[in-house]
A = this chain, B = another copy of it.
């Protein structure tokens, strides 16, 4: 069961990475939804808090990684949306 949890958290944790690469490479973010990134960010912050309270390192690390990727994607998207 632990393996499934780790697999799940890696999957959702790194899922934003391809989106970040695509925005960075193409320097376009026209159809990327900033409200999505904001709602997702809020959810990820809460998951990290939930993981800390449950002392569940799988939840903490995967959602912290996702938060960082999310923030980078948002910053780049805002930058390229302004052009």
Contact = CB atoms under 8 A, between A and B. Distances in A.
Interface residues of A, number: 40
Interface string A37-72: 101101110110110011000000000000000000
This chain: how many copies in the complex?
2
Given A1-B54, A12-B40, A40-B12, A19 B33 contact: yes
Interface string A1-42: 100110111111111111101110010111111011101101
A14 B42 CA distance: 11
Interface of A: 1, 4-5, 7-19, 21-23, 26, 28-33, 35-37, 39-40, 42-44, 46-47, 49-50, 53-54
